Structure 1
Amino acid sequence: MNHWIARLLAFWSLTWHLRRPPLAHADADERARWCRDHAGTFAGRWLGLGAVLWLLFMTPFVAFVPLGIAGVLALAVGMATLTRQILAQRRAGPPPIEPPADFPRRDHDDADDR
Structure 2
Amino acid sequence: MTTATLAYRAIGSKLAWTQPLRVNWKAMYILGIIFALLFCVTYIFGINQLTRGAYLIKNYNKEISSLLEENRKLEIDFAESGFLGGVQEKVKQLSFEKTKGVKYVQILDNSLVLSK
Structure possessing the higher radius of gyration over alpha carbons: 2
TM over 0.5: no
TM-score by length of 2: 0.28
Quick one: higher RCO (CA 8 Å, sep 6+), 1 or 2?
1
